[in-house]
Amino acid sequence: MMSADDIKRLCRKVKSASRELALTDTKTKDRVLIAMSKALIKRASYIVRENERDLASAKRKGLSPAYLDRLRLTVSGISGMAKSLSVIARFKDPVGEVIETLRRPNGLLIKKVRVPIGVILIIYEARPNVTGDCIGLCLKSSNALILRGGSEALNSNIAIFDILNDVAVKNGLPANSIAMIRDTDRRIVKQLLESDSLIDLVIPRGGESLIREVTKTSRIPVIKHYKGVCHTYVDRSADLKMAENICFNAKVQRPGVCNAMETMLVHRKVAKKFLSRMIKRFSDSGVEIRGDAETRRIAPYIKRAVENDWYTEYLGLILSVKVVTDIDEAIAHIMKYGSYHSDAIVTGNKKNAGKFLDEVDSACVYVNCSTRFTDGAQFGKGAEMGISTDKLHARGPMGLEELTSYKYVIYGTGQVRR
């Protein structure tokens, strides 16, 4: 195992690189990103082979299809990662942007200027494509990065990291601007999380136990990327054909991800008409429905939902369904059982839409569209570091801007305080 000293030494090197990286010009950073993008394409078959080793061992361990879906890297997935890097290269450099300028009555000129955060630690599970996206976003925003991936994706992560790090160093980025912890011993995470003088931000992406552990242990600020128990509420006044398409998309198009719908809420006045068609369509596509008593009166053949279902992120083809008396009951349900990630209402009533948007306290609230849009690229951010379920600093999809802090730069001509 890496010793505490090894870890401290590594973190110090990355911290020191972060100071240099903060002063690196946009041209150098963009050149590196383009070279990284090309290197991924060139080495795609190597990455796929390493990924196949991870997949084989995950299958042996009996991990779920949703898990394997998140772990899998195809050649087209790798092109996607490469494309993200070249898209990030074309994005405007956020560092140095003047966010606000203020002239005070005493003549002081105050500028609020965007700066990098410093050193970011990302702790993630499966999903090796996260490796490329995070490296690209962090370097473009001049943040140094320490990656701690899950043991299941270790070979894939190492393959991607080694290719990208090699390109970074050869193209003039400070050595140790990115680092990967290859030792999968869990005690290392604890030591990293206590290094609050060397690491500025921790982003954990993953399941409940990971998030809990990080939140409890960390002395470093944390932005949680937690589960998505996403809801769609079909209101009394909804266009039911539209509602059907939205709900079907939110559940079925890619069920293994955090912005997929887990619970569907339906107003009782339209429940019978809507659910009889909708449940059939879901069942035809292999979705298992778990309903409350009212839903089971309409479709007696489906399973009963138990209390725990309402809290569950299935990440697969299962859906819980509840019939509600009105919009207030729908909102109360979402606030009680949801994870404040992404929730949608389908309605033809403007007042109800407004009420839902105001009162549902989630990162993303939708009217008349699928929750699947919660995504950095869909929001025009190029790529994403993940989706924050926290309220501090960044909420929802995190792109380049969300990876920056700011400083106040004040220009005087001899002013003193009276």
Q: Binding of a second copy at residue 369 (CB under 8 A)?
A: yes
Q: Binding of a second copy at residue 364 (CB under 8 A)?
A: yes
Upper half-sphere CA count for residue 107 (Cβ side, 13 Å): 6
Compose the 316-355 pattern: x for residues touching a second copy by CB under 8 A, - for all others. Answer: -------------------x--------------------
Which of 49, 219, 277, 304 touches a second copy (CB under 8 A)? 219
Shortest CB 409 distance to a second copy, Å: 5
Q: Where are the alpha helices (DSSP H) in 43-196?
A: 44-60, 65-71, 75-90, 129-140, 154-170, 187-193
Which of 26, 171, 245, 283 touches a second copy (CB under 8 A)? 245
Distance CA 243, CA 234 (A): 7
Shortest CB 385 distance to a second copy, Å: 14
Question: Residue 25 or 185: which CB sits closer to a second copy?
Answer: 25
Q: What does the angle CA 214 – CA 219 – CA 222 come to, to the nearest 5 degrees?
A: 55
Shortest CB 255 distance to a second copy, Å: 12
**138 Cβ contact partners less than 8 Å away, ≥ 6 residues apart:** 120, 144, 145, 178, 385, 403
Secondary structure (3-state) at 10: helix
Question: Residue 225 or 372: which CB sits closer to a second copy?
Answer: 372
Distance CA 33, CA 82 (A): 9
Distance CA 180, CA 13 (A): 13
Query: Do 85 and 136 contact (CB within 8 A), yes or no?
Result: yes
Which of 52, 162, 326, 359 touches a second copy (CB under 8 A)? 359
Which of 5, 76, 209, 380 touches a second copy (CB under 8 A)? 380
Which of 287, 363, 385, 398 touches a second copy (CB under 8 A)? 363
Q: Binding of a second copy at residue 141 (CB under 8 A)?
A: no
Distance CA 219, CA 192 (A): 10
Q: Binding of a second copy at residue 251 (CB under 8 A)?
A: no
144 burial type by CB count under 10 A (0-12 exposed, 13-18 middle, 19+ buried): buried
Residues interacting with a second copy, by CB under 8 A? 19, 22-23, 102, 104, 108, 110, 115, 117-118, 196, 200-201, 215-216, 219, 221-223, 239, 242, 245-246, 248-250, 253-254, 335, 357-359, 361-370, 372-374, 378-380, 390-393, 395-396, 405-417
